[in-house]
Structure 1
Amino acid sequence: MPRALHRWDLDIAEARTVQTRLAARVETHDRLGQVRAIAGVDCGFEDDGRLTRAAVVVMRWPGLDVIESTLARVPTTFPYIPGYLSFREMPAILAAFKQLETRPDLLLCDGQGIAHPRRLGIACHLGLWLDRPAVGVGKSRLVGAFEPPGEEKGSSTPLVVHDETIGAVLRTRDRVRPLFVSPGHRIGVDSAARWVLDCAIRYRLPEPVHAADRLASSKSCGRN
């Protein structure tokens, strides 16, 4: 496991300071190398939110067959506050990654990348912590303005804040609600969208994230 970037016993003001500091380190250009394994990451909660249940599913690329999956349960120590998801979920996610034998080359995270009020969504935070290319795959918009993409699979439009493109609004299935894709770390907007689309074979979510979602949500009370 890479060196810790900060401690986890933070209050809101401290967490905000960490986000601002780390956001300056996020790389939004392609630096991937060869991709042989892609990890999907998601969380659920048990015991009325007191226990975080993190799932990581690693799939081979190409082919998207499962190489391995891990699940970790960790007591939840940070409250649910929009914009601070990573402080609530990442301790469990890191515990799940610690169990992996495979080192993934790309992370697809259920949540935001730079499409975040302080440009540090969970995909950025995790990508920096693990020093891995990462993509945020949001099921809903957190920030930004956009025009709806076309109804066919593969249609996309820019997600924009103050004339800056921070992501793509991407249709991964015909006539199904789009995803909000944004760079997490070591990847650009266009590449992030292309990887999500290439991995979206059967479902709205890309296969690794869909598999992680199913593992994280089974026998849990779901995400807060």
Structure 2
Amino acid sequence: MTIIEKPADWPRSEAEALAVQNALRDRVVLGEVGPPPGTGLVTGVDVAYDDDRDLVAAAAVVLDAATLTVVEEATAIGRVAFPYIPGLLAFREIPAVLAALGRLESGPGLVVCDGYGQAHPRRFGLASHLGVLTDLPVIGVAKNPFTFRYEQPGQERGAASSLLAEDEEVGRALRTQPGVKPVFVSVGHRVGLGQACAQVLHLAPRFRLPETTRHADALCRRALKEAVAG
């Protein structure tokens, strides 16, 4: 098993990580609509941790966007690259996620992260960070609203409400299935918020979470289990 080590110049402290966020966030592209739902390829990325062994497993699963069938998958096992600090979680996992994406033979197309993009205290969550580093269109789909407020959307599939930081819309609470808790969609890079929500609805025809997230979550957990057993 090859373990991905963090880069030599990776931030070592909260102050260094904040400086990187501040330096990179002006490179986020927010003016593009992004690819239409159901076209090309779409890739889910997710990670699983074993903090006792200082390991993180990253998975990248490519789907045909039209049929939602799996085209390709890749994993990478790395050292946890940064301590747990809210707002800086991307620094824990990006080296492993980049390694998993780099092992794909298919172009990833749109990337869907289990996390945040603009819905972040400094508007630079994992989806934005990954988008800037790869220049791919990236969106974030989270299971909770972090620290932001929102009104409950309607109970029907497709209902949405703004995720707000004071008066700024940083994402949307989106009902992907009738009567089921919403997910929280935010833009990462090179995708508009309306298109991001349309993508998530297309990717979640049966369950609350998009198929990209479901496949990537299962694969990274399996990869971590195999790495630990090995």
**TM-score, with length taken from structure 1:** 0.91
What residue number does 1:52 align with?
Answer: 56
Alpha-carbon displacement from aligned partner over 1:10-45 (angstroms, at most 9, x marks no partner)? 311010111112111112232535741100010001
1:49 deviates by 5.6
SS of 1:70's equivalent in the other structure is: strand
Partners of 1:110 and 1:127 lie apart in 2 by: 14
For structure 1, the 5+ residue unaligned runs are 1-5
What residue number does 1:16 align with?
Answer: 18
For structure 2, the 5+ residue unaligned runs are 1-7, 226-230
Distance 1:48 1:142, change over 3 A: same
1:151 deviates by 1.4
What residue number does 1:65 align with?
Answer: 69
More helix by share: 2
Alpha-carbon displacement from aligned partner over 1:139-160 (angstroms, at most 9, x marks no partner)? 1111322101111211110111
- The sequence identity of aligned pairs, in percent, is 44
What residue number does 2:216 align with?
Answer: 212
Tell whether the 8 Å contact from 2:61 to 2:73 is kept in structure 1 after alignment.
yes
SS of 1:24's equivalent in the other structure is: helix
1:132 maps to 2:136: yes
Distance 1:9 1:23, change over 3 A: closer
1:48 deviates by 2.4
Partners of 2:156 and 2:53 lie apart in 1 by: 37
Partners of 1:144 and 1:130 lie apart in 2 by: 27
Number of equivalent positions: 216
RMSD: 1.7
What residue number does 2:172 align with?
Answer: 168
**TM-score, with length taken from structure 2:** 0.89
